[in-house]
Structure 1
Amino acid sequence: MTPFDYSRAGDVAAALRIGAGVQTKFLGGGTNLIDLMRETIERPTALVDITGLPAEITERDDGGLLIGAAVRNTTLAEHRAVRTRYPMLSRAILAGASAQIRNMATVGGNLLQRTRCTYFYDDAGSRCNKRHPGQGCDAIDGFNRNHAILGASDSCVATHPSDMCVALAALDAVVHLQGNGGERALPLVELHRLPGDRPDLETMLQPGELITAIELPAQKIAARSTYRKVRDRSSYAFALVSVAAALDIEGDTIKDVRLALGGVAHKPWRAHKAEQALRGREPNAETFRAAAEAELADAVPLRDNAFKIELAKRTITAVLGELAGDAR
C-alpha cells in the first residue's frame, strides 16, 4: 500500500478544505476504497476521514427524506420510513452485502464504489482502460459473463456493482453535492457516466467535490415497490441482473411505473423505454413482456453473457407480475 497522510474532518467545510489536494480521497466506511488501496489501484497521498460528518435521516413535511451521506447502510435499510414508504430501497440494501459490511458502509460511499471487474483488479497482468486509459480492455475478448449488455463501449464493458443505486435510480433520487465552488444538486441518474472512450471518468463529480446528502422525493407509488436480485449464489454475490420496480394500477390500467435495472450496464440503468411502454396499458404478462422486450431491444451481448438479455426480460416480467398481483 502506498504511504498516505490521514486526517479527520469535523464538518463539511473542514473536509473540503483538507480534501482540496489532487490526490486526496474522502474516507467513509472504506469498504471499497481500502480494498483498492491494498491492490494499489487507488493511490491517494492523503485520506480525509468524514465519518464524523452528520449522519441523519430527516423526514420532510411532504413525506420525502433527506439522507446524510455518512448514514450507514444498515441504518438506512432499517429506518421505519424507508421500510414503509420506499421498500425497494430497504430490500436492495439488504441484498447488497453482509450485515458486517452494511454496518460499516456509508450511503455516499455506496454511490461511489467502483466496478468489481476481474481485469480492473488485476493490475499485474491485465489491460484495463478504467485503470490505465488507452491501455485496452481484456474483458471484451476475455471472461465476460458478468459484464454489460447495455450502454457499453469498445473501451469498457464493466458493470456498476451497487444494488442501492439501482433502487435510488428508480426512485428519482437527487444527490446533493458541495465543493469549494458551492453547492449543487444532481439527479442520481445523471451522477454516473457511461464509459464512452473515457471509462476512468466514472461520475460527474468535480475534483474535491463531496456528496453531502441524498434526497428521496415523496412518491406515493414507491410504497408498492420491490427489488429482486438474480445472482449465481444466494450469498452476497454481485447481481447478474437486478430489477427495482414500483407499480401504480388504477382499475385495469397501469397508471404509473418506476423501473431500473442493475448488473447490465456501467451505471444504474433507468428503464425509460419499458416505463413508456407500460403506462396506460393493461397489467398482464403480455404487457410486461413487451415492455421488457422494448427495453432490451438495444442490448449488445458479449461472448459469455448473452443469457443476460433473456434473464433480464424474465425478471422484469416476473417482478411486475408480482407487484400487479399485490395490487389486486
Structure 2
Amino acid sequence: MNRRRAAVRAYLFYLEHEVKISPELQAKKVDVALTWITFPREPVDYPKDIVEQAGRVYTKFQEESWGVDADPEEAESDEEVAPDAALPVTRSARTIRADSVRTSAAILPPPSHHIWGIRGIMHGLARKVNKRGGYSYIFDKRYISKKKDFWVIGNNGLTPGAWWPLQRLALFHGAHGSAGGGISGSPIHGCYSIVVSGRSVYHDMDEDRGETLFYSADNSVHNTNRNAVDTITNRTRSLQVSHREGRPVRVLRSQGGTRAYAPKVGIRYDGLYRVVKQLERTNRSGGRYLQFKLQRLEEQRPFAETVAAAPTAQQQRDFHESRREYH
C-alpha cells in the first residue's frame, strides 16, 4: 500500500508540475481518476495530501479546458541543444560538481552553486539531459514547496522589475501560469497575466508602446472568417472578463520583443495593466479577430525605472553561464 501511495504522489507531482495540458489526458481518463480521488462517490480513506494535490491538479486542468483550445504555435519548447560544442552536456560525468545530487530523472545542482543554487538565478530548476546531447528544464523536487501559485489577480507579491532567466522560472515564482503560452487566465476569474514576446506568432499583429499595449487574442492568426470573430478560446474569454470587471493583469516582457522595452535576455515583470478596450481587427488572411488595449496602472514603480532595472550586467553574465554545465 505504501508503494502505491508513493506512486500516486509521484504521478500527481508529474501532472501538477511537469505535464503539458492536452486533450489526450481526458482520452486517457485522467479526469475520471482525479474526480474519484477529489470527489469520491463512497467514503474512501485517501491521505489528505493526495486529496489536496488531486484537487489542485483537477482545478488547474479544468481552468485550462484540458488543452482543448491551446495554440500549439505559441507554446515555446523547454528543450535546448547544448549551446557550447566545446563543453557538450554528454561530458557531465567528468565536469559535474561532486556535490551535485544524482537521481533517476536528472542531476540536481548543488544548493551552494552561485547560479543554480538557493541564491542563484536558476534556483528552482534542474537540467535533464536527453539522448541527443541536449537538455530540458524540470522543476527541482527539493524546492517544489516554494513554487508559488499563479491563480491570483493582482501583483501576487511581485515588484515591477523582477526578472528571471526563463519563463518556466516566472511560473515557479507565480508571475505567469504557463512555461510557454502567452496568456494565463480563467474564463471565470479573468486573466492573471500575459507575456509580450517578439518570438510569438502574433508579434507583427501586436503593438507595444510601453505603458500602452495592443495585445491580440488567442488563435487570432488562424481566424479566417471575414465577417465575424468565430474563434474565441477560454484564454480570450479571460481577457474579456478582465475588461468587463476592470481587473488588473500582470504584464511580462520577454527577450526578442520591442527593443526599447524588452529585456536583453530572460523575462521581466513590468507591472499591472488594465484592459481598457476590446477591438476587432483583420489578420493577413482577412479573418476577423479580437485585440485588447491595455493601459499600465499608475502608483507603481515608474515604467522607465522598471525597464532599466533588469537584467543587470551580473544577471546577464549569469544567464549566459547558466547554459553551461554545473561546474
The structure number with the bigger radius of gyration is 2
Please give the range of the TM-score, normalised by the shorter of the 2 chains. Answer: under 0.3
Q: TM-score, normalised by structure 1?
A: 0.26
TM-score relative to the length of structure 2: 0.26
